Chains A and B, each alone.
Chain A
Amino acid sequence: MSAPNLLELHNISKSFGALTALRDLSFHIGPSEVIGLLGDNGAGKSTTVNLISGIHRPTSGHLSVDGQKTLFTCRSDSADAGIETIYQNTALVDSLSITRNIFMGRERTDALGFLKQGEMRDIAMEVLEKAVHISGIDSPDKLVGDLSGGQKQAVAIARAVFFKRRVLLLDEPTSALSVRETEALLAQVLKLKAEGVSSVLVTHNLYHAYQVCDRFVIMSHGTKVFDVPKADTSISQLTEYVVLT
């Protein structure tokens, strides 16, 4: 009937020794969808993020990508599936330029391994101008260390966009940002959605999530307690679920 879901979690459980971090967790991420993954501290949000990005393996249960059953055993498996995780402390090198950060580990080179600097710079310029419209970045030659927190996240997102990611996992993306940078980031998420990139916003901040998310998945004690489209809920109801469950 409709397109298959980009990513599905089926009855995922995860234990660390005696500690059960996730219990029978199932939810899905559809195409062009922004999901708010909400929950109080210790609800299992971070474990879920690590699981989807391939850092943890589930104790039981499985994932599906485009309807195909699969398991991520390492970081690159999830990257191959088109998933990019953007952490609070983004994985960027401060002493290198934006261009070099975007292409870090995936450099364009000639047969001898020498960098095609002009080509990479042009692409970075284009990505920064078109895909990630966050102002203040006027040149891809700027050092990442000279950027603000929001600009750094923009570079990380630019990297994800350029390498054709379909799902962005944003782990507490707004916690280190100014109000303006937060607005810009949320606008970015919506813009990417319009271009067909889904996002998962993992956050404490219900108001930020409510601004942009199409659907909310609320976790408590390692499992899903609520899964609701935006149209069927309100901030007060979401707050109730996060606080009371």
Chain B
Amino acid sequence: MTYAMTDRAVPKSRTKKQTLLKQIMTMPAGAILLVFATLQIVCIIGALAYPDDFRYLSPQNLTILMKAIPVLGCLALGAGILMIAGEFDLSIGSVYTLTAVLMATLVDGGMSAFIAAPLGILLGVIIGFLNGTITLRFGLPSFIVTLGGLLFWRGAVLLYNGAVQVRFDPEPAFSSLFAGTLFGINAAFIWIVAFVIGFYLLLHRHRFGNHVFATGGNPAAATAIGINTDRVKMIAFAIAGGMAAVAGIIATARVGSVQPGQGAGLELQAIAACVIGGLSLRGGRGSIIGIFLGVMLIHTITDVLLLLRAPGFYLDMFIATLIVVAAAFNHLIERRGAA
């Protein structure tokens, strides 16, 4: 036995032979980036070729897109970080409505929106902690616990304020902070970009993010190395709840009212955006840029179908196909990684 043997101890690396396309595909969020870029190019060419029939690049359309993306974006960022830690939160749609209703009624009662909004976020965080505590203390699947949360808080909205719309009429400073414009860019869109950067730093550049990936990727290894996985998951649950409340604030500030049923189905869209963005349902895999691209892709497709005046059911069918294809693709990548 000589040391020279070690030089051929292992099959040669395959990476050198990979083409650029393959490299992009194996990058985190590489595939989604490719799909997104292709779609954008097609849309832009289409808009330039038929400016009257396909108004994709019109200022009105871009404004609609910028207003629509932040709400789902906030929900998906929170849900995504929790998914990477290996847990689910199905209650975020209901929490989104509940916290918005709480904030709107408090403002209606004379409270400043600058106090009511943080209270709404606090409620979201508390519900997140509650989900986490029940899940971890009793060792239950978070899917079931938060399914309970979805129904419970949906009911709580009706108990608290009935099935009526709540007007939201904050001071102008609050409105312009969340629904105004800065240099022609929608304030809510600036918020979501800031959140994406913040979450990117937290998940990919901070110690906590490293622990999130370890907790979701290999809980036994994370524990063996001394990471408190319960604490990591607890914080992730709280982030998911808090971001649901933030989404509620942004949506409410834009529309000026809260509908008691407005959050229904949003939790599934948020998880769909995460899956499309390359997150694994088993945790431990994913990226913030992937989540954001997943959100943008869902909204771009929605927008294109609206511009083409396609009936609404096409949208559901399109997104559904995208989710399944994305999940299958992710699974292939994972299996290759495990082999």
Q: Chain A interface (Cβ within 8 Å of chain B)?
A: 75-76, 90-96, 100, 103-107, 109, 113-115, 117, 133-136, 138-139, 142-143, 145-146, 148, 150-151, 180-181, 183-184, 186-188, 191, 211
Contact = CB atoms under 8 A, between A and B. Distances in A.
Given A114-B201, A181-B10, 20 more contacts: A91-B220, A93-B213, A93-B218, A95-B216, A96-B210, A103-B210, A104-B227, A105-B226, A107-B210, A109-B206, A113-B208, A134-B9, A136-B13, A138-B13, A145-B337, A146-B337, A151-B10, A180-B5, A180-B9, A180-B10
Nearest to B12: A136
Contacts of A92: 218, 221
Interface string B111-148: 00000000000000000000000000000000000000
B7 to A, nearest CB: 5
B241 interface: no
A107 B212 CA distance: 13
B241 to A, nearest CB: 22
A179 to B, nearest CB: 9
A139 B13 CA distance: 10
Interface in B1-20: 1-3, 5-13, 15
A205 to B, nearest CB: 15
B233 interface: no
B3 A187 contact: yes
B49 interface: no
How big is the B interface, by class? Answer: 35 or more
Contacts of B7: 135
B10 A96 contact: no
Given A93-B213, A94-B217, A105-B227, A143 B337 contact: yes
A91 B9 contact: no
B284 interface: yes
Which residue, of B10, B11, B208, B225, has the highest number of chain A Cβ atoms within 10 A?
Answer: B10
Interface of B: 1-3, 5-13, 15, 201, 205-208, 210-211, 213-214, 216-218, 220-222, 224-227, 280, 284-285, 337-338
28 contacts: A93-B213, A93-B217, A95-B284, A95-B285, A96-B214, A105-B211, A105-B225, A105-B226, A105-B227, A109-B207, A113-B207, A113-B208, A117-B205, A135-B7, A135-B10, A136-B10, A136-B12, A138-B15, A142-B15, A145-B338, A146-B337, A150-B10, A180-B8, A181-B9, A183-B1, A183-B9, A184-B10, A191-B3
A184 B5 contact: yes
Contacts of A142: 15
A107 B217 CA distance: 17
B210 A184 contact: no
